[in-house]
Each structure stands twice: as C-alpha cells, then as structure tokens.
Amino acid sequence: MSQLIKITSLLTILGLLLADSLYAQQAPIFTQYGSTFMFINAGFAGMGEGICANGVIRQQWAGFQDAEGNKVAPQDFLVTVDAPVQLVHGGVGGSIIQDQLGFESNIGLMMAYSFHLETTVGMFGFGAGLNLTNRSIDFSKFHPVVPNDPALLTAKQGDMLVDGNLGIYFKGNGNIFAGLSATNIFESKGKNLSTSGSVIQYVTDRTFYLVAGYSLSLPNHPQFEVIPSILIQSDIASTQYNFSTIVNYKSKFWGGINYRFQESIGFMVGVNFDGIRFGYSYDLPTLPVGLAGSHELTLGYCFKINAEKSRTSYKNTRFL
C-alpha cells in the first residue's frame, strides 16, 4: 500500500507538469548549491581564483520506480567551467546539464560573459548568457485512459529552444556574497509538436534566484570557518527556500546542513585535498508521502591564475 501511495504521488506530480499544452518543467535544485553558481547566475563567471571546474550528480528519490519498473525519479548531471579574462574586463563561463524527470529528458548548454566592476566595498559581476536546450518526452511510455486516442501523442517528441539569462553577483571585501539572477527570461516556445490540430509546445522555465551568505571565522577558534547562506528559487508559480550552514575546518574538512522549506533536510560532508574539492549530501524528505532520500555528489577544482591583485582583493567565498 505504501508503494502504491508513492507511485500515485509521483504520477500526480508528473501529471501536473504535463497537463497543459505548453510543456514546462521546473528548474532543478541542488542541495550543495554553492557549486552551481555558474549555472544559476551569469554574473558569477570569472569570480573564482582561476579556471574553475565543478561537477554535480544528483539522484532525487533514489531508486523510485513506477508500477512497470521504469526509473522515473529526477536525475541531474551538471558540469560548469568559468574563468577570469582580463582582456574583456571580466570573466567567461558555461555549463552543460542533463536533467531527467520521468520520461522527459532535457540537455542544456549555457554560455555567459560577466563584466567585473571593482569598488571600495568589493567586486560586482554583471552577466548575460545564452541558453540552448534540447527537450524531449517519450510519449509512448504513457498509458492513456482512452486507448488509441488520436488526440494524444504516441512517440518520442523533441525540440531545441533558445533563451537568455541575466545575473548580478557581488563578492564583498568582508567575505559577504550575494547574487540576483534570472534564467530563461524570454520563456521561449518551441514548434507545434501535435499533428491533430491542437497546439502542443515546449516552453522554457523562467526562474529567478536570490542567494546571499557570509563567511566568518570563530574568534577563539580561527581554524573553524562558518558560512551561513540562503537560496530562494522561484518560477512565480512555486517558490523554494533553502537555508544552509557549512562549517570548514582548516580549509580541509567541512560539513553542514541544508533545510529546504517543507521539503527536506540535507546533511553535507566534504574534503579538500590538493585543491580538489569533493562533497556528498543526503536529503531526508519531510514530505508526508514517504518518498526515498536523495543523493548528491560534487567534485571541483580551480587552476589558479597568477595575476596582480588589486587593493580590494579578498578571500574567495565559494563554499568548497
């Protein structure tokens, strides 16, 4: 009975996502969101200490299957790269993501440029980016209430959509950081996928992000660094709130907790070794339907660039 409730709950979610003739999907969300700033905010490009690469693998509701044994839980694979480029007075970056939800698969490529402005209080990054998204749904996997309904799609359908991103990111001299951004700002619509006369289109998911945090060392224990932060992610129809606190020990080991409002509690651990940053998190759902937990792995490395530091240089507050 519990398995039936889980399947019914997930199918209800999928049904709501696919109920309209405009097929939109919520943007993925990550527990270790400090490793995804290049993905969510174009203004972050080049804000690190050099050429920085990050990878994230997330498996939500691990092991969840439908009644026929198909894996329908969300899965995400994300890779980001960014670097400062003095020649263009800023930084460049990009990301590649594969986002799967049920029988829908999205592959996205994002490229961004950020103009850096140094001030007496810190550095601002003003960024713009271009999104290319290949979206597809395998409609043959669905079982309609009315068999052989000519109005329903029965094969895999896909389309390529082009959209844009905007973002502002700030890194203060006092180890404060904040960002405001929007992805898929035009909500681009794809071609008509239906052959029955009705209009069925994919549409990109316009999403807004607000992130802020602060890095501080404990006065009596300087080997410990505490980083509280918040991430708010919204597509207007729904909003998710994340509250995190991470504790670094001697810049080598770290652990923390993330609370996603009315959804889950995430436990995070990680290690830094020779510049390589590795992290793992497990989300314990707080939803009443009894879904399985979620796993997330991160891996990152920065190839440091030796450049002349300005008087307003400051410590990098990237989480890992």
Query: What is the predicted pLDDT for the residue at 63?
Result: 67
- pLDDT over 90 (residue 141): no
For 196, the 3-state DSSP assignment is: coil
Query: What is the predicted pLDDT for the residue at 12?
Result: 43
Q: Is residue 277 part of a domain?
A: yes
Categorise residue 126: left if φ over 0, alpha if ψ from -120 to 50, beta otherwise: beta
Q: Is residue 314 part of a domain?
A: no
Query: What is the predicted pLDDT for the residue at 147?
Result: 59
Q: Is residue 216 part of a domain?
A: yes
Through-space distance between the first and last CA atoms of the chain, rounded to whole angstroms: 42
Q: Is residue 89 part of a domain?
A: yes
Residues of the chain above pLDDT 90, percent: 58
- pLDDT over 50 (residue 18): no
Q: Give tens-digit pLDDT for 176-233.
A: 999 999 999 999 988 776 655 566 678 888 999 999 999 999 888 999 999 999 999 9
Q: Is residue 40 part of a domain?
A: yes
Q: Give tens-digit pLDDT for 102-124.
A: 778 899 999 999 999 999 999 99
Q: Is residue 228 part of a domain?
A: yes
- pLDDT over 50 (residue 96): yes
Query: What is the predicted pLDDT for the residue at 199?
Result: 61
Confidence of residue 154 (pLDDT cuts 50, 70, 90): low
Confidence of residue 174 (pLDDT cuts 50, 70, 90): confident
Give the CATH number of the domain where residue 81 resides.
Answer: 2.40.160.40
Contact of 211 with 41, CB cutoff 8 Å: yes
Identify the domain containing residue 253 by its residue range.
Answer: 2-145+155-188+196-304
Neighbours of 315 (CB within 10 A): 12
Rounded CA separation 239/119 (Å) = 33
Query: What is the predicted pLDDT for the residue at 317?
Result: 47
Confidence of residue 144 (pLDDT cuts 50, 70, 90): low
Q: Is residue 317 part of a domain?
A: no
Q: Give tens-digit pLDDT for 273-317.
A: 988 999 999 999 998 776 788 999 999 999 987 655 444 444 544
Annotate 98-156 with DSSP letters as a single string: EEEETTEEEEEEEEEEEEEEE-SSEEEEEEEEEEEEEEEEEGGG---SSTT-TTS--SE
Nearest Cα neighbor of 291 from 24, 82, 6, 13 is: 6
**Which is it for strands 201-202 and 156-172: parallel, antiparallel or unpaired?**
unpaired
Count the domains in the chain. 1
Nearest Cα neighbor of 84 from 48, 58, 117 is: 48
Q: Is residue 312 part of a domain?
A: no
Q: Bigger pLDDT: 100 or 88? A: 88
